[in-house]
Amino acid sequence: MKTFLTFIALLCFQLTFAQAFSGQGDVKFQIGANFQNNGTGIMGSLDFGIGENISLGVASAYLLGIDKITNEEGDEEPFAAFEDRFDFRARFNANLGNVINVDENFDVYPGLYASLKNFGGHLGARYFFTSGFGVFTEVNIPISKYNTDVLSPAEKLHNQVSVNVGASFNI
């Protein structure tokens, strides 16, 4: 855990030194790890620039590593089915790299999303080392859950704060 926190701290520190968004026609693909309570997995996103500071996109996440429970027969099995482990989102980003103007390789993008499970917001940052490759980090926060009942542990997956970290590519 200490190593993981050190890595995240260094990543965030590095991001402070680094626009990676060129406006209309810009396309970004990101792939990385998704971390949330009771599960870790993979995520991917694709964003299309439609204006100087606006992009629309899609994102998806699937949880691979989730806690297991013992069933009635005494066998261990994952506590969540496919539909609880998978989420798909349509998203809107306000790309503020050229507004903040820290570095031409650095972009900060707050935004909103509508997913299969909830409506929420995210805050992300990316830094490009070259014109085609960089790193990113995002925090996703659900604002309104579609299921207003008391959620089971499986239903809480993708209905809680999550963090994404990974690689970003210009397409």
User: Count of domains in the chain?
Assistant: 1
C-alpha 34/C-alpha 18 separation (Å) is: 23
Instruction: State what percent of residues in the chain have pLDDT above 90.
Output: 57
Instruction: Quick: pLDDT tens for 38-65.
Output: 889 999 999 999 988 899 999 999 999 8
Question: Looking at residue 114, which CATH number applies to its domain?
Answer: 2.40.160.20
* Tally of CA atoms within 13 A in the half-sphere of 123 that contains its CB: 3
C-alpha 119/C-alpha 43 separation (Å) is: 18
**Residue 70: pLDDT above 50?**
yes
Structural domain including 41 reads 2-170
Instruction: Quick: pLDDT tens for 139-154.
Output: 999 999 998 888 888 8
**Residue 102: pLDDT above 90?**
no
Q: How confident is the model at residue 16 (pLDDT cuts 50, 70, 90)?
A: very low
39-49 and 54-66 strand pairing: antiparallel
